[in-house]
Structure 1
Amino acid sequence: MSGAVLCFLLLLQLSASANPEELTVKPEQDVTLVCRALSDVPVILLEWNRRDLKDDGYVFFYRNQRAYENYQHPRYRGRVELRDPEVRHGDVSVVLKDVSVNDTGTYDCRVIIDGGHERRQLISLTVADSDPPAGQEGRNHGLVVGLSVAAGILVILLLISVSVYYIMYKRRNGPRENPSYKAPAAESTEVT
């Protein structure tokens, strides 16, 4: 992959993690809050927080390959578990069970893997009794547009890369003069 494409993908990842993913669910449902570590490297620490809970405890706390319920905020005890208890493929998503309007808020996933690398993901969860008001059905519209633009830019970069490669290939391997080919001799136009 070219350096420009790698830079673009890195910028896309950074912008995605800076803007919270928005989820809207109805009460009494279970919801998965998605978060991924960078790789299959062992997870050293996983903290799920809710920004407005301050220092009253975690939504979910995981260290040394196990969850610690005693560090959880009382509201979340017995209601949160890892989607994949074995944390395979960097999946540190949690399932929040039986949500209520009180669970509305911004959730912050912080994961540290072996080697000290840290990743954060924000999720804005709205628990509402009714469907969204008219005009707000597409709250993720900006994300869809952004991803569409990103896909378009990737396609353009791919086309440019292929075109440049084709041009360079043609220049290197372009038509060569055949040494066995001789141009026909010019006819003599002398008048006798």
Structure 2
Amino acid sequence: MIITADPGQDVTLTCRAPNNNIMIVEWSRADLRHEHVFVYRGGQFVPEEQHPSFKNRVDLQDRQMKDGDVSVILKNVTAADSGTYECRVQRDGYSSMQLMDIITLSVAPPPGPGPGTTEGGVSRGRPGLIASHFLCFLLLAL
């Protein structure tokens, strides 16, 4: 799944496990190495394993994880949040984590001014163009 967002938006990264016997939930991004986007283990969130850039910005969409819903909400996204996210779950009776979903998030940079304009939309002009207009004016004046 691919999600596109604007900076400042809250984004839901959706993921479902097959049943409610969920022991561990891990959301990760490959470039974070050993730290995670979000970890839930033993009935609670584990902040020690979370990458600092995600502190206080990620939470389960449904803390009860009804119907296996282990989706998370990522708040106030920035371009730095762009990347590929993986949702893994360990269910009761299983000895390892299982990959449930992969989501690519693309956060567009904020719109900037177009060529030849400033942030207020005023034309900056082009030095070469201005100089050529000035030369034409001088020649006509002579």
TM range (shorter): 0.7 to 0.9
* Structure 2: unaligned runs, 5 residues or longer: 112-142
Work out which of the residue numbers 114, 132, 137 in structure 1 matches 2:92: 114
Q: Is the 8 A contact 1:43 1:65 kept in 2?
A: no
1:111-141, CA deviations, whole angstroms, 9 ceiling, x for partnerless residues?
111121734210000000368xxxxxxxxxx
C-alpha distance in structure 1 between counterparts of 2:78 and 2:84, whole Å: 14
**Larger relative contact order, structure 1 or 2 (CA cutoff 8 Å, min sep 6):** 2
Higher helix share: 1
Q: Is the 8 A contact 2:25 2:41 kept in 1?
A: yes
**The 10-residue stretch of structure 1 (96-105 or 114-123) with the greater mean CA deviation from structure 2:** 114-123
TM norm structure 2 = 0.73
Higher strand share: 2
Q: Is the 8 A contact 1:109 1:120 kept in 2?
A: yes
1:48 aligns with 2:27: yes
SS at match of 1:110: strand
The aligned residue for residue 103 of structure 2 is: 123
- The structural deviation recorded for 1:80 is 0.2
Structure 1 ranges of 4+ moved more than 6 A: none
SS at match of 2:103: strand
1:59 aligns with 2:37: yes
The aligned residue for residue 84 of structure 1 is: 62
Q: Is the 8 A contact 1:37 1:119 kept in 2?
A: no
Q: Is the 8 A contact 2:7 2:110 kept in 1?
A: no
Percentage identity across aligned positions? Answer: 43
The aligned residue for residue 122 of structure 2 is: none
Q: Is the 8 A contact 2:7 2:77 kept in 1?
A: yes
Q: Is the 8 A contact 1:38 1:119 kept in 2?
A: no
Q: Is the 8 A contact 2:86 2:99 kept in 1?
A: no
The aligned residue for residue 184 of structure 1 is: none
Question: 2:102 is aligned with what amino acid?
Answer: L
Structure ID, larger Rg = 1
CA RMSD after TM alignment: 1.5
